[in-house]
Copies of this chain bind each other. A is one copy, B any other.
Amino acid sequence: MSSKYKSLKEECYEANMELNALGLVIYTFGNVSAVDRDKAVFAIKPSGVPYETLKPEDMVILDYDNNVVDGNMRPSSDTETHSHLYKNWESIGGVAHTHAMYSVSWAQAQRDIPVFGTTHADHLTQDIPCAPPMADELIQGNYEHNTGIQILDCFKERNLDHNEVEMVLIGNHGPFAWGKNAAKAVYNSKVLETVAQMAYLTLQINPNAPRLKDSLIKKHYERKHGKNAYYGQ
């Protein structure tokens, strides 16, 4: 394996394997990428390769314009969505996509996930946005690239900050999550799936469950992420 991209490929490989270990994917229904901002490239899972046979050297290295820089395999079919996020959001270091059960179900229901509790507010202050399905011409065009555009448009329209809201649902498709690195993108995918299941159950128990009140959203988010955060070591 080319020593130049060894650590990037390993970071990407580990994150993909973790996605599988966390029960967020079956078969090949997911992919994680990791970026190297200095080299301006990212590593991504090869398309359709099962986790049992996946190796670090299988990861494909591309630049932000989707040119393969290193690797012998075809990259994930969702590659152009990842690259569009890297190109436009310079602060992010990893992206993950899954077809996890509860996240997908909210996406198929075309509903935002309301902030119902502190598990949600520990991670973000907003409802988790569900971007609408794309217009037909965007679907028929460069679909995966346009999925990236759809995500950015959704964040722009709703005035969301991708450094705070590190996850999105694509209507009828499923979730994307990101973060400072690939491991954090995987972590956010798991948090999203957990919060999605909690919100589902909450609505079954109380269809009129109220949104979490602002003071509690603020308190929980700030104690983990605010400038006076006191969570963690």
Contact = CB atoms under 8 A, between A and B. Distances in A.
A172 interface: yes
Contacts of A139: 215-216, 219
Contact of A111 (B172, B200, B205): B205
A136 interface: yes
Contacts of A198: 101, 104-105, 108
A122 B78 CA distance: 13
Contact of A102 (B117, B201, B210, B232): B201
A119 B99 contact: yes
Most central of A119, A190, A204 by chain B CB within 10 Å = A119
A219 B139 CA distance: 7
- Interface size for chain A: under 10, 10 to 19, 20 to 34, or 35 or more residues? 35 or more
Contacts of A209: 108-110
Given A118-B172, A203-B205, A230 B77 contact: yes
Interface string A185-204: 00100110010011111111
A64 interface: no
Contacts of A122: 29
B77 A172 contact: no
Contact of A205 (B29, B106, B134, B231): B106
A41 to B, nearest CB: 21
A48 B231 contact: yes
Interface string A27-60: 1010000000000000000111100000000000
Contacts of A204: 105, 200, 204
A110 B29 contact: no
A3 interface: no
Interface of A: 26-27, 29, 46-49, 73-74, 77, 99, 101-102, 104-111, 116-119, 122, 133-134, 136, 139-140, 143, 172-174, 187, 190-191, 194, 197-206, 209-210, 212-213, 215-216, 219, 223, 230-233
